[in-house]
Amino acid sequence: MSLKVDEKKGYFGEFGGSFVPDELKQVLNLLAEQFDHYKNDPEFIEEYKYYLKEYVGRENPLTLAQNLTRNLGGVKIYLKREDLNHTGAHKINNVIGQILLAKRMGAKRVIAETGAGQHGVATATACAMFDMECIIYMGKLDTERQALNVFRMELLGAKVVSVDKGQGRLKDAVDAALNDLVENYQTTFYLLGSAVGPHPFPTMVKHFQSIISEESKRQILEKEGKLPTAVVACAGGGSNAIGAFAHYLEEESVKLIGVEPAEAPTLTEGVPAVIHGFKCLTLLDDQGNPKPTYSISAGLDYPGIGPEHSYLKQSGRAEYVTITGKEALEAFQLLSKVEGIIPALESSHAVAHAVKLAKQLTKDDVIIVNLSGRGDKDVEQVFNMLKV
Ligand SMILES: *Cc1c(COP(=O)(O)O)cnc(C)c1O
């Protein structure tokens, strides 16, 4: 199958693009040009790889989940261990890439928006290390619910701006960050956290997250001498999933499966629409506005999804399934108990689907589950959910 992707313009079939005011478009065009240049620059690549190794701790293992494999009848289940990265998830891969680009472009300030706070913490971490001024926009409601993450960001030297407009949620924080960018683009870099937003962000985030499948493909060929039957990853905005899929897109024998929360089934039930400056499949309410979603994992609560996933779904190259909060919670406990690995609630959605899938496959099959993050951040929430 040949995929209709135009990375230069940021179109994935009919999805993607850049639906923003002219002044912002100019800023994004400049960013696209610079990204295009540096992504092929040997020194830039070397520096990116250096920090991934020395700061993030890559490459991380592709661990055979021995007990899970045995319990499920012998289908080999491998876990790609993004949970072992510094800061405990895949988000840092992208943050390091973008901050190196920001430095090359001469930026002095980095701004970002965050909902649950995980992208804000990853950004604040890298800004501390690279000595950049860091401003994190966060909806007022989210700052109240995620007080500990606000404190983490402040410890790391970031300034957290609580956005009181609108509903005080992620969308309002995005608007505030975009306004800041338009006003201060000469000194400021907007560091976006998932494979969403107007061009070039989806392409750029995919590029930096592709390290996941670059490694996993090499690792699985070393361990099994063949490609996996399936790669399974959870999808919120879609960055860990697109990174986990990237190097298998052209390998038609490999099934690519994205897992959404049943409470935010963007790809399963969404319709094509423009939100936040790009076109994707998205959940709309009766008035045609992006619909607020309520999943147990804050990191998967986004009414839209990256444009490339929208296209992979439409073209049939990838398959998207849903997992309920209850199933994710069971998988969270299962992996903890049998493998001694506490997964993030987001990643637990992928684990839950892999368990279902394993029951339909045979001993000759191999599944890679992208373990996008570790679950320490979720332990208190799970404690409260299991208590009632
Ligand atoms: C943020 C987050 C996600 C969801 O984001 P994607 O862009 O869809 O990858 C998934 N897992 C973890 C652990 C996260 O922190």
347 lines ligand 1 (CB under 6 A): yes
Distance in Å, CA 22 to ligand 1 centroid: 31
212 lines ligand 1 (CB under 6 A): no
91 lines ligand 1 (CB under 6 A): yes
Fold for 21-49+90-205, please state it: Rossmann fold (3.40.50)
372 lines ligand 1 (CB under 6 A): yes
Q: For 59-89+210-386, CATH number?
A: 3.40.50.1100
| CA gap 187, 180 in Å, rounded | 11
* pLDDT at 382 > cutoff 70: yes
- Summarize pLDDT for 137-154 with one digit per residue, the tens: 999 988 998 899 999 999
| CA gap 383, 372 in Å, rounded | 21
Mean pLDDT of 258-272: 93
Distance in Å, CA 260 to ligand 1 centroid: 11
- Summarize pLDDT for 225-264 with one digit per residue, the tens: 999 999 999 999 999 999 999 999 999 999 999 999 999 8
- Give nearest CA residue, ligand 1 atom 10: 346
303 lines ligand 1 (CB under 6 A): no
Ligand 1 atom nearest residue 373's Cα = 13
**What is the structure's pLDDT at 59?**
98
> Model-level pTM?
0.96
Ligand 1 atom nearest residue 82's Cα = 13
Residue whose CB lies within 8 A of the most ligand 1 atoms, among 90, 152, 210, 312, for a mutation test: 90
Q: Write the DSSP symbol of residue 316.
A: T
Residues 6+ apart with CB under 8 A from 93: 52, 56, 58, 85, 208, 209, 211, 212, 243
Mean pLDDT of 25-54: 97
Q: What 3-state class would DSSP assign to 230?
A: strand
47-61, 66-80, 264-278: least confident range: 264-278
Residues 6+ apart with CB under 8 A from 313: 258, 267, 281, 319, 320
**By the 8 A CB rule, do 340 and 332 touch?**
no
**By the 8 A CB rule, do 89 and 96 touch?**
no
Nearest Cα to Cα of residue 185 among 356, 23, 379: 23
- Summarize pLDDT for 351-375 with one digit per residue, the tens: 999 999 999 999 999 999 999 999 9
Residue ranges of domains in the chain: 21-49+90-205, 59-89+210-386
85 lines ligand 1 (CB under 6 A): no
- Give nearest CA residue, ligand 1 atom 5: 236
Identical topology for domains 21-49+90-205 and 59-89+210-386: yes
Residues involved in catalysis? 91, 113, 372
